[in-house]
A and B are shown apart, each in its own frame.
Chain A
Amino acid sequence: MSEDIKVDLELDLKGLLCPMPMVKVSQKIGDVPVGGVIRAVATDPGSMADIPAWAKSTGNEVLSAGKEGDEYVFLVKRAK
Protein backbone atom coordinates (compact mmCIF):
# COMPACT_ATOMS: atom_id res chain seq x y z
CA MET A 1 0.00 0.00 0.00
CA SER A 2 2.80 2.36 0.94
CA GLU A 3 4.10 2.31 -2.67
CA ASP A 4 0.98 4.22 -3.77
CA ILE A 5 1.59 7.10 -1.41
CA LYS A 6 3.59 10.07 -2.61
CA VAL A 7 6.28 10.91 -0.10
CA ASP A 8 7.16 14.61 0.14
CA LEU A 9 10.06 14.31 2.53
CA GLU A 10 12.35 11.47 3.56
CA LEU A 11 13.72 11.67 7.09
CA ASP A 12 16.65 9.54 8.14
CA LEU A 13 16.36 9.21 11.92
CA LYS A 14 18.61 6.17 12.20
CA GLY A 15 20.83 6.23 15.26
CA LEU A 16 18.81 8.94 16.98
CA LEU A 17 17.75 8.12 20.51
CA CYS A 18 14.22 8.69 21.79
CA PRO A 19 12.64 11.17 22.02
CA MET A 20 14.72 12.74 19.23
CA PRO A 21 13.01 10.84 16.35
CA MET A 22 9.67 12.28 17.49
CA VAL A 23 11.26 15.71 17.93
CA LYS A 24 12.67 15.64 14.38
CA VAL A 25 9.33 14.60 12.83
CA SER A 26 7.65 17.41 14.72
CA GLN A 27 10.29 19.92 13.60
CA LYS A 28 10.00 18.86 9.96
CA ILE A 29 6.23 18.45 9.58
CA GLY A 30 5.94 22.14 8.71
CA ASP A 31 8.26 21.56 5.73
CA VAL A 32 5.64 19.53 3.87
CA PRO A 33 2.33 21.02 2.68
CA VAL A 34 -0.95 20.19 4.40
CA GLY A 35 -1.83 16.70 3.18
CA GLY A 36 1.87 16.03 2.50
CA VAL A 37 3.64 12.94 3.77
CA ILE A 38 6.92 12.36 5.61
CA ARG A 39 8.57 8.96 5.42
CA ALA A 40 10.71 8.57 8.51
CA VAL A 41 13.09 5.72 9.28
CA ALA A 42 14.24 5.27 12.88
CA THR A 43 16.18 2.58 14.72
CA ASP A 44 15.07 3.21 18.29
CA PRO A 45 12.14 0.93 19.23
CA GLY A 46 10.74 3.69 21.48
CA SER A 47 9.80 5.62 18.35
CA MET A 48 7.03 3.07 17.63
CA ALA A 49 4.99 4.53 20.49
CA ASP A 50 6.43 8.05 20.51
CA ILE A 51 5.70 9.06 16.90
CA PRO A 52 2.06 7.84 16.87
CA ALA A 53 1.50 9.48 20.29
CA TRP A 54 2.88 12.77 19.01
CA ALA A 55 0.75 12.52 15.83
CA LYS A 56 -2.40 11.78 17.78
CA SER A 57 -1.87 14.65 20.20
CA THR A 58 -1.07 17.16 17.45
CA GLY A 59 -3.88 16.04 15.13
CA ASN A 60 -1.55 14.64 12.46
CA GLU A 61 -1.95 11.18 11.01
CA VAL A 62 0.30 8.13 10.99
CA LEU A 63 -0.63 6.33 7.78
CA SER A 64 1.58 3.37 8.64
CA ALA A 65 4.16 2.36 11.21
CA GLY A 66 6.04 -0.90 11.01
CA LYS A 67 9.24 -2.79 11.53
CA GLU A 68 11.43 -3.60 8.54
CA GLY A 69 14.44 -5.60 9.71
CA ASP A 70 16.08 -3.49 12.41
CA GLU A 71 14.37 -0.31 11.27
CA TYR A 72 11.09 1.33 12.16
CA VAL A 73 9.42 2.97 9.20
CA PHE A 74 6.68 5.60 9.46
CA LEU A 75 4.50 7.41 6.98
CA VAL A 76 3.22 10.55 8.64
CA LYS A 77 0.68 12.84 6.97
CA ARG A 78 0.45 16.49 7.84
CA ALA A 79 -3.21 17.11 8.62
CA LYS A 80 -3.30 20.85 9.30
Chain B
Amino acid sequence: MEPQQVDTLTGVLDKKMTRQLKQYLDICARCAICKDACHQYVATGDLTYLPARRAELIRQIYKKYFTKTGEFVPALYEARDPDESLLDELYESTYACTGCRRCMYYCPFSIDTAWILSVAKAILIAADRGNEMLGQLADAALMKSDNFDMFRDIILDGFKDIEGKVKEMTGDPSAEIPVDKEGADVLYVALAGAHSILPAAAIFHEAGTNWTLSMFESANYGYFFGDAEKARRIADRFMDEAKRLGVKEVVITECGHAYRVAQFFHEAWSGEKHPFKVRHILEVIDEYIRDGRITVRHGAITEPVTYHDPCQVGRNGGIFEQPRDIVRAIASDFRDMTPNREEQWCCGGGGGLVAIAEMEDFRLKSGAKKLEQVKATGARIIASPCENCRLQLEGLNDQLDLGLTVKPVMDLVVDAMEIRR
Protein backbone atom coordinates (compact mmCIF):
# COMPACT_ATOMS: atom_id res chain seq x y z
CA MET B 1 0.00 0.00 0.00
CA GLU B 2 1.24 3.50 -0.91
CA PRO B 3 2.43 5.58 2.08
CA GLN B 4 0.00 8.30 0.99
CA GLN B 5 -2.92 5.86 1.29
CA VAL B 6 -1.74 4.80 4.75
CA ASP B 7 -1.66 8.50 5.71
CA THR B 8 -5.20 8.97 4.44
CA LEU B 9 -6.56 5.99 6.38
CA THR B 10 -4.74 6.76 9.62
CA GLY B 11 -5.88 10.36 9.13
CA VAL B 12 -9.50 9.15 9.22
CA LEU B 13 -8.81 7.36 12.49
CA ASP B 14 -7.08 10.47 13.85
CA LYS B 15 -10.10 12.61 12.97
CA LYS B 16 -12.47 10.23 14.72
CA MET B 17 -10.23 9.86 17.79
CA THR B 18 -12.20 11.09 20.77
CA ARG B 19 -11.36 10.40 24.38
CA GLN B 20 -14.18 7.87 24.44
CA LEU B 21 -12.87 5.97 21.41
CA LYS B 22 -9.35 5.98 22.82
CA GLN B 23 -10.70 4.53 26.03
CA TYR B 24 -12.54 1.78 24.13
CA LEU B 25 -9.34 0.93 22.26
CA ASP B 26 -7.16 0.94 25.39
CA ILE B 27 -9.39 -0.79 27.86
CA CYS B 28 -10.47 -4.14 26.35
CA ALA B 29 -9.46 -6.93 28.77
CA ARG B 30 -9.91 -9.65 26.15
CA CYS B 31 -12.19 -11.45 28.52
CA ALA B 32 -14.33 -12.51 25.51
CA ILE B 33 -17.57 -12.15 27.46
CA CYS B 34 -18.92 -10.40 24.36
CA LYS B 35 -18.64 -13.59 22.32
CA ASP B 36 -21.74 -15.07 23.96
CA ALA B 37 -23.69 -11.86 23.36
CA CYS B 38 -23.27 -11.67 19.59
CA HIS B 39 -25.89 -13.65 17.65
CA GLN B 40 -23.53 -13.86 14.69
CA TYR B 41 -20.65 -15.39 16.62
CA VAL B 42 -22.99 -17.69 18.55
CA ALA B 43 -24.59 -18.95 15.32
CA THR B 44 -21.37 -19.42 13.34
CA GLY B 45 -18.52 -19.88 15.84
CA ASP B 46 -16.45 -17.89 13.36
CA LEU B 47 -13.85 -15.60 14.98
CA THR B 48 -14.44 -12.98 12.26
CA TYR B 49 -17.66 -12.16 14.07
CA LEU B 50 -16.41 -12.14 17.65
CA PRO B 51 -17.07 -8.53 18.73
CA ALA B 52 -13.69 -7.92 20.40
CA ARG B 53 -11.94 -9.45 17.39
CA ARG B 54 -13.73 -7.08 15.01
CA ALA B 55 -12.65 -4.10 17.10
CA GLU B 56 -9.15 -5.55 17.37
CA LEU B 57 -8.49 -4.70 13.71
CA ILE B 58 -8.94 -1.00 14.43
CA ARG B 59 -6.95 -1.45 17.64
CA GLN B 60 -4.06 -2.85 15.57
CA ILE B 61 -3.90 0.29 13.43
CA TYR B 62 -4.27 2.41 16.54
CA LYS B 63 -1.36 0.63 18.21
CA LYS B 64 0.90 1.08 15.22
CA TYR B 65 0.19 4.75 14.63
CA PHE B 66 -1.08 6.17 17.89
CA THR B 67 1.03 4.48 20.60
CA LYS B 68 4.80 4.74 21.03
CA THR B 69 5.38 1.09 21.90
CA GLY B 70 3.35 -0.12 18.95
CA GLU B 71 5.30 2.17 16.66
CA PHE B 72 8.67 0.82 17.81
CA VAL B 73 7.92 -2.85 18.52
CA PRO B 74 4.88 -3.55 16.38
CA ALA B 75 5.20 -7.36 16.49
CA LEU B 76 4.96 -7.44 20.27
CA TYR B 77 1.80 -5.38 20.30
CA GLU B 78 0.17 -6.85 17.22
CA ALA B 79 0.35 -3.45 15.62
CA ARG B 80 -0.49 -3.47 11.91
CA ASP B 81 -0.68 -1.30 8.87
CA PRO B 82 -4.08 -0.76 7.28
CA ASP B 83 -2.93 -2.89 4.35
CA GLU B 84 -5.06 -4.81 1.89
CA SER B 85 -5.28 -7.93 4.05
CA LEU B 86 -6.36 -5.93 7.09
CA LEU B 87 -8.94 -4.07 4.99
CA ASP B 88 -10.30 -7.38 3.66
CA GLU B 89 -10.81 -8.65 7.20
CA LEU B 90 -12.19 -5.33 8.31
CA TYR B 91 -14.76 -5.26 5.51
CA GLU B 92 -15.99 -8.75 6.34
CA SER B 93 -16.39 -8.17 10.07
CA THR B 94 -17.62 -4.56 9.86
CA TYR B 95 -20.39 -4.66 7.26
CA ALA B 96 -21.68 -7.90 8.82
CA CYS B 97 -22.29 -6.18 12.17
CA THR B 98 -25.93 -5.22 12.68
CA GLY B 99 -25.04 -2.53 15.19
CA CYS B 100 -27.31 -4.20 17.73
CA ARG B 101 -24.97 -3.34 20.64
CA ARG B 102 -25.84 -6.47 22.56
CA CYS B 103 -22.08 -6.97 23.01
CA MET B 104 -21.83 -3.57 24.68
CA TYR B 105 -24.66 -4.42 27.04
CA TYR B 106 -22.78 -7.46 28.33
CA CYS B 107 -19.21 -6.07 28.18
CA PRO B 108 -17.96 -5.33 31.73
CA PHE B 109 -16.44 -2.09 30.40
CA SER B 110 -19.39 -1.20 28.16
CA ILE B 111 -17.14 -1.10 25.11
CA ASP B 112 -19.24 0.04 22.18
CA THR B 113 -17.99 -2.24 19.40
CA ALA B 114 -20.59 -0.87 16.98
CA TRP B 115 -19.14 2.61 17.48
CA ILE B 116 -15.63 1.34 16.83
CA LEU B 117 -16.99 -0.27 13.67
CA SER B 118 -18.54 3.02 12.58
CA VAL B 119 -14.95 4.30 12.52
CA ALA B 120 -13.99 1.16 10.59
CA LYS B 121 -16.64 2.02 7.99
CA ALA B 122 -15.22 5.54 7.64
CA ILE B 123 -11.79 4.00 7.01
CA LEU B 124 -13.20 1.53 4.47
CA ILE B 125 -15.04 4.33 2.65
CA ALA B 126 -11.83 6.39 2.52
CA ALA B 127 -10.15 3.31 0.99
CA ASP B 128 -13.00 3.12 -1.55
CA ARG B 129 -14.14 -0.14 0.00
CA GLY B 130 -17.50 0.90 1.39
CA ASN B 131 -20.35 -1.53 0.70
CA GLU B 132 -21.53 -0.76 -2.82
CA MET B 133 -25.24 -1.51 -2.36
CA LEU B 134 -25.59 0.54 0.81
CA GLY B 135 -23.75 3.39 -0.91
CA GLN B 136 -26.10 3.21 -3.90
CA LEU B 137 -29.17 3.32 -1.68
CA ALA B 138 -27.82 6.36 0.18
CA ASP B 139 -27.12 8.12 -3.13
CA ALA B 140 -30.59 7.30 -4.48
CA ALA B 141 -32.17 8.94 -1.40
CA LEU B 142 -30.12 12.09 -1.94
CA MET B 143 -30.86 12.03 -5.66
CA LYS B 144 -34.55 12.50 -4.83
CA SER B 145 -33.95 15.59 -2.70
CA ASP B 146 -31.19 17.09 -4.87
CA ASN B 147 -33.48 16.88 -7.92
CA PHE B 148 -36.72 17.42 -6.12
CA ASP B 149 -38.45 19.17 -9.02
CA MET B 150 -38.04 16.00 -11.03
CA PHE B 151 -39.49 13.73 -8.32
CA ARG B 152 -42.10 15.88 -6.61
CA ASP B 153 -45.07 14.99 -8.82
CA ILE B 154 -44.17 11.30 -8.90
CA ILE B 155 -44.06 11.22 -5.10
CA LEU B 156 -47.36 13.12 -4.83
CA ASP B 157 -49.04 10.75 -7.32
CA GLY B 158 -47.96 7.83 -5.13
CA PHE B 159 -49.51 9.52 -2.09
CA LYS B 160 -52.77 10.04 -4.01
CA ASP B 161 -52.95 6.30 -4.74
CA ILE B 162 -52.49 5.59 -1.05
CA GLU B 163 -55.05 8.25 -0.09
CA GLY B 164 -57.72 6.35 -2.01
CA LYS B 165 -56.98 3.31 0.14
CA VAL B 166 -57.17 5.39 3.35
CA LYS B 167 -60.67 6.49 2.37
CA GLU B 168 -61.65 2.85 1.86
CA MET B 169 -60.03 1.74 5.10
CA THR B 170 -61.71 4.41 7.23
CA GLY B 171 -64.95 4.40 5.27
CA ASP B 172 -64.68 8.18 5.23
CA PRO B 173 -64.44 9.94 1.84
CA SER B 174 -63.00 13.04 3.57
CA ALA B 175 -59.99 11.10 4.95
CA GLU B 176 -56.84 12.40 3.38
CA ILE B 177 -53.07 12.35 3.33
CA PRO B 178 -52.09 15.95 3.97
CA VAL B 179 -48.75 16.98 2.47
CA ASP B 180 -46.75 20.18 2.92
CA LYS B 181 -49.25 21.48 5.46
CA GLU B 182 -47.99 24.52 7.34
CA GLY B 183 -49.15 24.68 10.93
CA ALA B 184 -49.65 20.93 11.25
CA ASP B 185 -48.84 19.64 14.73
CA VAL B 186 -47.16 16.46 13.51
CA LEU B 187 -44.85 15.70 10.60
CA TYR B 188 -45.04 11.96 10.07
CA VAL B 189 -41.97 10.51 8.39
CA ALA B 190 -42.75 7.15 6.81
CA LEU B 191 -40.75 4.80 4.61
CA ALA B 192 -41.03 4.99 0.83
CA GLY B 193 -43.47 2.05 0.97
CA ALA B 194 -47.25 2.44 1.17
CA HIS B 195 -47.39 -0.05 4.06
CA SER B 196 -45.86 2.49 6.43
CA ILE B 197 -48.19 5.32 5.35
CA LEU B 198 -51.58 3.64 5.11
CA PRO B 199 -52.10 2.40 8.70
CA ALA B 200 -50.64 5.57 10.22
CA ALA B 201 -52.94 7.72 8.06
CA ALA B 202 -55.97 5.74 9.28
CA ILE B 203 -54.85 6.07 12.91
CA PHE B 204 -54.11 9.82 12.66
CA HIS B 205 -57.47 10.30 10.98
CA GLU B 206 -59.33 8.40 13.70
CA ALA B 207 -57.45 10.27 16.45
CA GLY B 208 -58.25 13.62 14.84
CA THR B 209 -54.57 14.58 14.64
CA ASN B 210 -53.52 17.68 12.74
CA TRP B 211 -50.78 15.97 10.77
CA THR B 212 -48.88 16.12 7.51
CA LEU B 213 -46.86 13.50 5.67
CA SER B 214 -43.21 14.09 4.88
CA MET B 215 -42.24 14.04 1.21
CA PHE B 216 -39.20 12.00 2.19
CA GLU B 217 -38.66 8.59 3.69
CA SER B 218 -37.00 8.18 7.07
CA ALA B 219 -34.86 5.17 6.09
CA ASN B 220 -31.22 6.18 6.13
CA TYR B 221 -28.81 4.06 4.15
CA GLY B 222 -26.13 6.69 4.63
CA TYR B 223 -26.09 5.60 8.26
CA PHE B 224 -25.73 1.90 7.37
CA PHE B 225 -23.13 2.73 4.72
CA GLY B 226 -21.15 4.58 7.40
CA ASP B 227 -20.91 8.04 5.82
CA ALA B 228 -21.92 10.52 8.54
CA GLU B 229 -22.16 13.42 6.09
CA LYS B 230 -24.55 11.57 3.76
CA ALA B 231 -26.51 10.27 6.72
CA ARG B 232 -26.96 13.80 8.03
CA ARG B 233 -28.05 15.10 4.63
CA ILE B 234 -30.59 12.26 4.27
CA ALA B 235 -32.10 13.14 7.67
CA ASP B 236 -31.87 16.89 6.89
CA ARG B 237 -34.45 16.35 4.15
CA PHE B 238 -37.28 15.88 6.62
CA MET B 239 -35.79 17.84 9.51
CA ASP B 240 -35.66 20.94 7.27
CA GLU B 241 -39.21 20.21 6.14
CA ALA B 242 -40.32 20.05 9.80
CA LYS B 243 -38.71 23.43 10.51
CA ARG B 244 -40.24 24.99 7.41
CA LEU B 245 -43.74 23.75 8.27
CA GLY B 246 -43.39 24.77 11.92
CA VAL B 247 -44.58 21.44 13.33
CA LYS B 248 -44.48 20.70 17.04
CA GLU B 249 -43.37 17.14 16.61
CA VAL B 250 -41.63 14.82 14.15
CA VAL B 251 -43.02 11.29 14.38
CA ILE B 252 -40.92 8.51 12.87
CA THR B 253 -42.60 5.44 11.46
CA GLU B 254 -42.07 1.84 12.58
CA CYS B 255 -38.38 1.74 11.86
CA GLY B 256 -35.47 1.25 14.20
CA HIS B 257 -32.44 3.00 12.77
CA ALA B 258 -34.45 5.95 11.42
CA TYR B 259 -35.80 6.60 14.90
CA ARG B 260 -32.35 6.41 16.43
CA VAL B 261 -30.88 8.74 13.80
CA ALA B 262 -33.66 11.29 14.31
CA GLN B 263 -33.79 11.07 18.09
CA PHE B 264 -30.17 10.59 19.07
CA PHE B 265 -27.79 11.51 16.24
CA HIS B 266 -29.16 14.26 14.06
CA GLU B 267 -28.77 17.14 16.52
CA ALA B 268 -25.14 16.23 17.11
CA TRP B 269 -24.46 15.81 13.39
CA SER B 270 -26.10 19.11 12.44
CA GLY B 271 -24.88 21.05 15.50
CA GLU B 272 -28.42 22.43 15.95
CA LYS B 273 -31.09 21.78 18.51
CA HIS B 274 -34.41 20.68 17.01
CA PRO B 275 -37.22 23.17 17.61
CA PHE B 276 -39.63 20.22 17.87
CA LYS B 277 -39.97 16.92 19.69
CA VAL B 278 -39.09 13.61 18.03
CA ARG B 279 -41.11 10.49 18.86
CA HIS B 280 -41.57 7.00 17.52
CA ILE B 281 -45.04 6.27 16.13
CA LEU B 282 -45.64 3.59 18.76
CA GLU B 283 -45.14 6.12 21.59
CA VAL B 284 -47.83 8.22 19.92
CA ILE B 285 -50.26 5.34 19.34
CA ASP B 286 -49.85 4.15 22.94
CA GLU B 287 -50.76 7.65 24.09
CA TYR B 288 -53.81 7.73 21.78
CA ILE B 289 -55.06 4.47 23.27
CA ARG B 290 -54.46 5.61 26.86
CA ASP B 291 -56.15 8.97 26.22
CA GLY B 292 -59.09 7.32 24.47
CA ARG B 293 -58.38 9.10 21.18
CA ILE B 294 -58.57 5.74 19.47
CA THR B 295 -60.21 2.57 20.75
CA VAL B 296 -58.94 -0.90 20.06
CA ARG B 297 -60.91 -4.03 20.81
CA HIS B 298 -59.26 -6.27 23.39
CA GLY B 299 -59.38 -9.84 22.16
CA ALA B 300 -59.43 -8.76 18.51
CA ILE B 301 -56.58 -11.27 18.19
CA THR B 302 -56.89 -14.52 20.07
CA GLU B 303 -53.94 -16.36 18.53
CA PRO B 304 -50.76 -16.13 20.65
CA VAL B 305 -48.71 -13.04 19.80
CA THR B 306 -45.11 -12.27 20.68
CA TYR B 307 -43.17 -9.02 20.34
CA HIS B 308 -39.65 -8.68 18.99
CA ASP B 309 -37.75 -5.63 20.31
CA PRO B 310 -35.81 -4.22 17.35
CA CYS B 311 -32.36 -3.35 18.72
CA GLN B 312 -32.57 0.28 17.57
CA VAL B 313 -36.02 0.77 19.10
CA GLY B 314 -35.41 -1.22 22.28
CA ARG B 315 -31.88 -1.59 23.61
CA ASN B 316 -30.59 1.46 21.73
CA GLY B 317 -33.79 3.51 21.64
CA GLY B 318 -35.20 2.89 25.12
CA ILE B 319 -38.72 2.04 23.91
CA PHE B 320 -39.84 -1.18 25.55
CA GLU B 321 -43.20 -0.77 27.24
CA GLN B 322 -45.33 1.21 24.78
CA PRO B 323 -45.33 -1.46 22.05
CA ARG B 324 -46.09 -4.16 24.63
CA ASP B 325 -48.94 -2.08 26.07
CA ILE B 326 -50.39 -1.72 22.57
CA VAL B 327 -50.10 -5.42 21.76
CA ARG B 328 -51.57 -6.38 25.15
CA ALA B 329 -54.50 -4.02 24.55
CA ILE B 330 -55.35 -5.99 21.39
CA ALA B 331 -54.20 -9.57 21.87
CA SER B 332 -55.73 -11.78 24.53
CA ASP B 333 -52.68 -14.08 24.56
CA PHE B 334 -49.44 -12.08 24.63
CA ARG B 335 -46.26 -14.07 25.21
CA ASP B 336 -42.98 -12.27 25.70
CA MET B 337 -39.76 -13.84 24.51
CA THR B 338 -36.98 -14.81 26.90
CA PRO B 339 -34.76 -12.87 27.29
CA ASN B 340 -36.41 -9.62 26.30
CA ARG B 341 -36.16 -5.82 26.43
CA GLU B 342 -32.49 -4.77 26.88
CA GLU B 343 -31.38 -8.40 26.64
CA GLN B 344 -33.42 -9.24 23.56
CA TRP B 345 -31.49 -11.20 20.92
CA CYS B 346 -30.86 -9.37 17.66
CA CYS B 347 -32.82 -11.05 14.85
CA GLY B 348 -29.90 -10.55 12.47
CA GLY B 349 -31.64 -8.24 10.00
CA GLY B 350 -30.21 -4.87 11.08
CA GLY B 351 -27.31 -2.83 9.80
CA GLY B 352 -28.65 -2.79 6.23
CA LEU B 353 -27.90 -6.51 5.85
CA VAL B 354 -31.29 -7.23 4.28
CA ALA B 355 -30.20 -5.18 1.25
CA ILE B 356 -26.91 -7.03 0.74
CA ALA B 357 -27.55 -10.08 -1.46
CA GLU B 358 -24.24 -11.80 -0.79
CA MET B 359 -24.94 -11.77 2.95
CA GLU B 360 -28.31 -13.50 2.72
CA ASP B 361 -27.20 -17.01 3.74
CA PHE B 362 -25.07 -15.68 6.58
CA ARG B 363 -27.86 -13.36 7.72
CA LEU B 364 -30.43 -16.14 7.88
CA LYS B 365 -27.99 -18.41 9.67
CA SER B 366 -27.33 -15.69 12.23
CA GLY B 367 -31.01 -15.69 13.17
CA ALA B 368 -30.67 -19.04 14.99
CA LYS B 369 -31.02 -17.56 18.48
CA LYS B 370 -34.03 -15.52 17.46
CA LEU B 371 -35.70 -18.59 16.03
CA GLU B 372 -35.15 -20.51 19.26
CA GLN B 373 -36.72 -17.68 21.21
CA VAL B 374 -39.73 -17.35 18.93
CA LYS B 375 -40.38 -21.10 18.88
CA ALA B 376 -40.21 -21.27 22.69
CA THR B 377 -43.11 -18.82 22.98
CA GLY B 378 -45.42 -20.90 20.81
CA ALA B 379 -46.66 -17.63 19.26
CA ARG B 380 -48.27 -17.65 15.83
CA ILE B 381 -47.91 -13.92 15.24
CA ILE B 382 -44.74 -11.86 15.67
CA ALA B 383 -45.26 -8.13 15.99
CA SER B 384 -42.24 -5.93 15.39
CA PRO B 385 -41.85 -2.27 14.57
CA CYS B 386 -38.87 -2.36 12.22
CA GLU B 387 -38.83 -3.06 8.52
CA ASN B 388 -35.41 -4.70 8.59
CA CYS B 389 -36.40 -6.98 11.46
CA ARG B 390 -39.61 -7.96 9.70
CA LEU B 391 -37.78 -8.84 6.49
CA GLN B 392 -35.41 -11.02 8.46
CA LEU B 393 -38.17 -12.64 10.51
CA GLU B 394 -40.14 -13.32 7.33
CA GLY B 395 -37.02 -14.79 5.74
CA LEU B 396 -36.54 -17.13 8.69
CA ASN B 397 -40.23 -18.03 8.63
CA ASP B 398 -40.16 -18.82 4.90
CA GLN B 399 -36.91 -20.74 5.06
CA LEU B 400 -38.25 -23.11 7.69
CA ASP B 401 -41.87 -22.98 6.62
CA LEU B 402 -43.00 -22.13 10.14
CA GLY B 403 -46.35 -20.69 9.12
CA LEU B 404 -45.96 -17.62 11.34
CA THR B 405 -47.32 -14.18 10.53
CA VAL B 406 -44.96 -11.22 10.93
CA LYS B 407 -46.68 -7.87 11.32
CA PRO B 408 -46.01 -4.24 12.08
CA VAL B 409 -47.64 -3.23 15.38
CA MET B 410 -49.60 -0.53 13.50
CA ASP B 411 -51.32 -3.20 11.40
CA LEU B 412 -52.57 -4.95 14.53
CA VAL B 413 -53.89 -1.59 15.74
CA VAL B 414 -55.75 -0.89 12.50
CA ASP B 415 -57.25 -4.40 12.48
CA ALA B 416 -58.52 -3.90 16.04
CA MET B 417 -59.46 -0.22 15.82
CA GLU B 418 -63.10 0.67 16.26
CA ILE B 419 -63.90 3.29 13.64
CA ARG B 420 -66.22 5.93 15.19
CA ARG B 421 -68.30 7.59 12.55
Contacts and interface: CB of A to CB of B under 8 A. Distances in A.
Interface in B260-287: none
Nearest to B145: A53
B136 A53 contact: no
B158 A26 contact: no
Interface stretch (A1-9, A32-40, A54-62): A54-62
B33 interface: no
A50 B140 contact: yes
A44 B219 CA distance: 16
Given A17-B193, A27-B133, A56-B143, A46 B158 contact: yes
B155 interface: yes
B194 A46 contact: yes
B398 to A, nearest CB: 12
Contacts of A20: 354-355, 391
A42 B144 CA distance: 19
A18 B391 CA distance: 11
Nearest to B196: A17
Contacts of B139: 57-58
Contacts of A46: 158, 191-194, 217
Interface string A18-31: 11101100110000
A79 interface: no
B219 A49 contact: no
A34 B154 CA distance: 28
A59 to B, nearest CB: 11
B157 interface: yes
A18 B217 contact: yes
Given A18-B217, A20-B391, A49 B155 contact: yes
B143 A44 contact: no
Contacts of B154: 48-49, 52
A25 to B, nearest CB: 10
B194 A44 contact: yes
Contacts of A53: 140-141, 143-144, 147, 151
B223 to A, nearest CB: 14
Contact of B157 (A48, A52, A57): A48
Interface residues of A, number: 21
Nearest to A43: B194
B162 interface: yes
A7 B140 CA distance: 24
A59 B232 CA distance: 24
A50 B192 contact: yes
B219 A19 contact: yes
Contact of A22 (B140, B142, B157, B357): B140
A27 B137 CA distance: 11
Contacts of B162: 45
B387 interface: yes
Contact of A45 (B136, B194, B219): B194
B161 interface: yes
B297 interface: no
A76 B95 CA distance: 28
Contacts of B137: 19, 22-23, 26, 54
B192 A49 contact: yes
Contacts of A45: 157-159, 161-162, 194
Contacts of B161: 45
Contact of B136 (A17, A26, A48, A52): A26
Interface of B: 133, 136-137, 139-144, 147, 151, 154-155, 157-159, 161-162, 191-195, 217, 219, 221, 354-355, 357, 387, 391
Given A44-B194, A47-B192, 8 more contacts: A17-B193, A23-B133, A46-B191, A46-B194, A49-B192, A53-B144, A57-B143, A58-B136
A-B complex: 10 closest residue pairs judged by Cβ atoms = A46-B192, A45-B158, A18-B192, A18-B193, A17-B193, A57-B139, A54-B140, A57-B143, A53-B143, A53-B140
16 contacts: A17-B194, A17-B195, A19-B191, A19-B193, A19-B221, A23-B137, A27-B133, A44-B192, A46-B191, A49-B154, A49-B192, A53-B144, A53-B147, A53-B151, A56-B147, A57-B142
